[in-house]
Amino acid sequence: MSPKVKSDLYKAAGVDIDLATELLDQVKRKFAQTRRPEMLAPVGGFGGLFQIDLSRYREPVLVSSIDGVGTKLMIAMMMEKYDTVGHDIVNHCIDDISVQGAEPVYFMDYIGIGKLRSPLYEEVLTGIADACKAANCAILGGETAEMPGMYGNDFDLVGVITGIVEKSRMITGEKIRAGHVAIGLGSNGLHTNGFSLARKILFSQCSYNVHTYLDELGETIGEALLKPHTCYYPAIREAQQEGFPLDGIAHITGGGLYDNVPRILPEDVSVVFDTGALPIPPIFKVLVEKGHVDPIEAYRVFNMGVGMVWFVPREKTARGLEIARGNGFTAEVIGEVIAGHREVRIR
């Protein structure tokens, strides 16, 4: 137990240990709701403990990923709304490992901040906890580093996730063949990529602010930009449970369709996409028109309405669409695989 002495000198230097403890206590109940049976200790130890249930696997493979929310955090600070970026970091990480077939099992966060403050801290952690609970992903631990002089009034948010997949059920893309169909799952906006260009167009070139209401959007710019990253794992989970042939999945993040899809393609195929198959969220139309963004650059910087791409055999198209739509996602056939050299064409 800590001695009952206030950390006055450290607080005067810019680090408030007592506030950090007080704010963390307020969200521990949320963390407890993400607990899984494999956890051997509550959050707060020097290291998180997670025992793999070996009875569930023959050859378990751990899949890990680390990512951040990027300059979307600046929009959150402008709006003084922080819960959605908690969802962003969790959902982005889950999508990154679920494309390889992994079940997300535990998550850890890092917050670096110049000066710890409320309600920023509780809102971020509450968003993280709610997103983890929705995916049955345990919060195993985390770190908050208060560093006056390093971040100023800003903060950074990073997430690390670990999942497990049976080796024989890993999704690698190696089964993708000419004739396969590309099913696109719709996004709700920028997710977590392209915000540096978006901020330049909207705030510097157009002189808007986060409270500017645009008829084209039907909401304020801040509301459109802060929509949380979509988690597509529920649809992938259902597909895996029934043995549906998801032969390849691409998470469309920074680099868009042009850079992310080739990461999973065999060397002897390419993909042709149809830009009109899925609806393009209004925020992208605003950015492209007002920023005079070349279409090729738009599809490299932004997801342009396609958050994830599934590659499935043509004869399984109808069932693939049914699974995606049944889990609440907008889904359409957006392209086809042809013979080629790992190229992406968008028409």
C-alpha–C-alpha distance, residues 60 and 62, integer Å: 7
Residue 123 domain-assigned (yes or no):
yes
pLDDT in tens, 106-147: 999 999 999 999 999 999 999 999 999 999 999 999 999 999
CATH code, domain with 113: 3.30.1330.10
Bridging pattern class, strands 138-146 and 103-113 = parallel
Q: Are residues 154 and 200 in the same domain?
A: no
The residue out of 169, 198, 221 marking a domain boundary is 169
* pLDDT at res. 98: 98
The answer to whether residues 117 and 164 belong to one domain is: yes
Assess if residue 174 is contained within a domain: no
- Residue 3: what pLDDT? 57
- Alpha helix (H) residue ranges in the chain: 8-12, 17-32, 72-79, 83-98, 120-134, 195-199, 221-225, 233-241, 256-260, 282-291, 295-301, 317-326
Predicted TM-score (pTM) of this structure: 0.93
Strand-pairing partners, residue 263, are: none
Instruction: Tell me what the pLDDT averaged over the chain comes to.
Output: 94
On whether both 227 and 264 belong to a single domain, the answer is yes
pLDDT number for residue 5: 58
Which pLDDT score is estimated for 102?
Answer: 98
pLDDT in tens, 226-257: 999 999 999 999 999 999 999 999 999 999 99
pLDDT digits (tens, 9 = 90+) for 286-336: 999 999 999 999 999 999 999 999 999 999 999 999 999 999 999 999 999
CATH number at residue 243: 3.90.650.10
Report, as an integer, the average pLDDT of 159-169.
Answer: 97
